[in-house]
Amino acid sequence: MSQPPFRLLPNPRHGTPGIVVLPEGGYRRAREAITAWPGYTPTPLHDLPDIAAALGLGAVHLKDESLRFGLGSFKALGGAYAVARVIAAELARLGIARAATAADLESGRHAETTRAITVTCATDGNHGRSVAWGAGRFGARCVIFVHPGVTQGRRDAMARFGAEVREVPGNYDDSVRACARVAEEQGWHVVSDTSWPGYTEVPRDVMQGYRLMAEEALDALRAPPTHCFIQAGVGGVAAAVSVALRARYGRTVRLVVVEPDRAACLLASAEAGAPTVVAGGLDTLMAGLACGEPSLLAWQELERAAFAFAAIADEAAIAAMRRLARHDPPVVSGESGAAGLAALTLVARDEAARAALALGPESRVLLLSTEGATDPDLYDRLVKVGPVDMEAP
Ligand SMILES: Cc1ncc(COP(=O)(O)O)c(C=O)c1O
């Protein structure tokens, strides 16, 4: 069977000095808040010895976000946390409560005020679900902007939390701009998972929430990883994982940032040496990764901390979803969630890529399956139907 084409770009600026993107104090605050939410429990870390053996690696570990707070993706950690912070800041500004906690907000004590607050974001599905969930829990109104490519299943999931879902033309990046424009006109609060010059405070909170996923994974590992493959849309989660790895292990872990070949804006940025936009339809099945503009904060971390950038085709992600579905025990991993395993499979089987990353029988690789079946109909279609022209590990 053939392997789909892929690209691997060793990062020319790996190891150069840079700024602190996620301060430790902000992470401690996020961890304290989120671990106190009802239903919080660390998600599982699976050992995949059969996959490690098939790829000639020492160990492969996979963090499984399919059960995160019942929302099916790690995004539950970021958007909802940032919504709580935005509402608490607004209550403080109005002189109503100095430091309202999530529990205060959920009690409905400030409902009269929070009802008048509107939070908004653009989404491919998972971030919007988290923001809608947070707004529902903490008593705010929520409007979510989607582009025409967002599936009905993902729209319905947001509407179930009480959000108004508005479609706007263009791709994900166009919906980000439409959201920012309408929010400005209406006085709404943008809770974006991407950042840009002049808008970093809220996305920083979103990323601090994501960091908890990485810290849970590192807590559960018996030995430090040698490599970590993490998928990227705007790069927020990859940067949060990178910060967590560096805080514990310095520069010893080789971080590979994985993107769809049709939306590889971080790879393009690394190649150009500056944030670079990939335009067009960003036509990929990996919906959560279909972003053409890197997040400023993410770029500031990854431009120096990523060891390499990889771009993969949709077939590779589907093959990895199927491989995880047939694992014993099975792991439910969605199109975007399985991208890390897809990239690892491709590079581990390519002599030059394997050498460039120093992958071998001593390697211990950490993967993060960042979503489960966040669109169950699509998941079933991709995992259960039709052939895929790629050999899985
Ligand atoms: C399942 C999943 N994985 C990874 C990502 C990428 O996250 P980021 O946009 O922070 O790079 C997303 C983004 O929506 C996602 O939904």
What is d(CA 83, CA 267) in angstroms, rounded to the nearest whole number?
Answer: 30
How far is the centre of ligand 1, averaged over its atoms, from the C-alpha of 232 (Å)? 6
8-state DSSP, 253: S
How far is the centre of ligand 1, averaged over its atoms, from the C-alpha of 150 (Å)? 14
Q: pLDDT per residue over 11-64, tens digit each?
A: 999 999 999 999 999 999 999 999 999 999 999 999 999 999 999 999 999 999
Ligand 1 site residues (CB inside 6 A) read: 73, 75, 124, 126-127, 193, 231-238, 288-289, 291, 336-337, 370-371
3-state secondary structure of 179: helix
- Grade residue 2 by pLDDT with cuts at 50, 70 and 90: confident
393 within some domain = no
How far is the centre of ligand 1, averaged over its atoms, from the C-alpha of 106 (Å)? 27
How far is the centre of ligand 1, averaged over its atoms, from the C-alpha of 360 (Å)? 28
Residue 308 reports pLDDT greater than 80: yes
Does one domain contain both 359 and 295? yes
DSSP 188-217: PEE--SS-BTTB-HHHHHHHHHHHHHHHHH
36 within some domain = yes
DSSP 89-103: HHHHHTTS-SS--HH
How far is the centre of ligand 1, averaged over its atoms, from the C-alpha of 301 (Å)? 16
Q: Which of 151, 285, 370, 371 to mutate to test the pocket of ligand 1 (most atoms within 8 A of CB)?
A: 370
- Grade residue 253 by pLDDT with cuts at 50, 70 and 90: very high
How many domains is the chain built from? 2
Q: pLDDT per residue over 137-196, tens digit each?
A: 999 999 999 999 999 999 999 999 999 999 999 999 999 999 999 999 999 999 999 999
The H-or-E segment that residue 70 falls in is none
Active site (annotated) includes residue 377: no
Q: Which atom of ligand 1 is nearest to the CA of 237?
A: 10
**pLDDT given for residue 1 in this prediction:** 58
How far is the centre of ligand 1, averaged over its atoms, from the C-alpha of 230 (Å)? 10
Neighbours of 304 (CB within 10 A): 17
**pLDDT given for residue 230 in this prediction:** 99
Does one domain contain both 66 and 117? no
How far is the centre of ligand 1, averaged over its atoms, from the C-alpha of 123 (Å)? 10
120 within some domain = yes
How far is the centre of ligand 1, averaged over its atoms, from the C-alpha of 126 (Å)? 8
- Grade residue 3 by pLDDT with cuts at 50, 70 and 90: confident
Q: Which residue has the tokens 């975007």?
A: 336
136 within some domain = yes
Q: Which atom of ligand 1 is nearest to the CA of 235?
A: 11
**pLDDT given for residue 110 in this prediction:** 97
Domain termination residue (choose one: 192, 226, 260): 192
Closest CA to 84 of 39, 41, 117, 126: 117
User: Is the bond preceding 329 in cis, omega lying within 30 degrees of 0?
Assistant: yes
Does one domain contain both 17 and 109? no
**pLDDT given for residue 204 in this prediction:** 98
254 within some domain = yes
- 72: phi > 0 → left, psi -120 to 50 → alpha, else beta; which? left
Q: Which of 73, 196, 202, 309 to mutate to test the pocket of ligand 1 (most atoms within 8 A of CB)?
A: 73
What is d(CA 20, CA 142) in angstroms, rounded to the nearest whole number?
Answer: 31
150 within some domain = yes
- Grade residue 4 by pLDDT with cuts at 50, 70 and 90: confident
Q: pLDDT per residue over 64-114, tens digit each?
A: 999 999 999 999 999 999 999 999 999 999 999 999 999 999 999 999 999
Does one domain contain both 174 and 262? no
Does one domain contain both 94 and 53? no
Q: Which atom of ligand 1 is nearest to the CA of 371?
A: 1
2 within some domain = no
Task: Provide the greatest CA pair distance for the chain.
Answer: 65
- Grade residue 282 by pLDDT with cuts at 50, 70 and 90: confident
Residue 338 — φ and ψ, nearest 5°? -90, 0
**pLDDT given for residue 387 in this prediction:** 55
Does one domain contain both 322 and 223? yes
Q: Which atom of ligand 1 is nearest to the CA of 73?
A: 1
- Grade residue 392 by pLDDT with cuts at 50, 70 and 90: low
| Residue 176, domain extent | 79-192
Does one domain contain both 68 and 88? no
**pLDDT given for residue 250 in this prediction:** 95
**pLDDT given for residue 388 in this prediction:** 55
**pLDDT given for residue 391 in this prediction:** 56
Find the mean pLDDT for residues 210-230: 98
What is d(CA 284, CA 278) in angstroms, rounded to the nearest whole number?
Answer: 13
Does one domain contain both 54 and 99? no
**pLDDT given for residue 384 in this prediction:** 84
Does one domain contain both 18 and 160? no
Residue 9 reports pLDDT greater than 80: yes
Q: Which of 130, 171, 333, 336 to mutate to test the pocket of ligand 1 (most atoms within 8 A of CB)?
A: 336
The CATH number for 342's domain is 3.40.50.1100
Active site (annotated) includes residue 63: no
Which of 50, 63, 64, 75 is flagged as catalytic? 75
Domain termination residue (choose one: 192, 220, 236): 192
Does one domain contain both 70 and 84? no
Q: Considering only CA atoms, which residue is closest to atom 14 of ligand 1?
A: 288
Does one domain contain both 160 and 207? no
Which of 50, 64, 104, 124 is flagged as catalytic? 124
Q: Considering only CA atoms, which residue is closest to atom 15 of ligand 1?
A: 288
389 within some domain = no
3-state secondary structure of 189: strand
Domain termination residue (choose one: 165, 192, 219): 192
Q: Which atom of ligand 1 is nearest to the CA of 127?
A: 14
Does one domain contain both 95 and 146? yes
- Average pLDDT, whole number, for the chain? 96
**pLDDT given for residue 159 in this prediction:** 97
For residue 365, the one-letter residue type is V
Residue 389 reports pLDDT greater than 60: no
Q: pLDDT per residue over 345-363, tens digit each?
A: 999 999 999 999 999 999 9
pTM for the complete prediction?
0.97
Q: Which of 144, 228, 231 to mutate to test the pocket of ligand 1 (most atoms within 8 A of CB)?
A: 231
Q: Is 384 exposed, middle or buried (0-12, 13-18, 19+ CB in 10 A)?
A: exposed
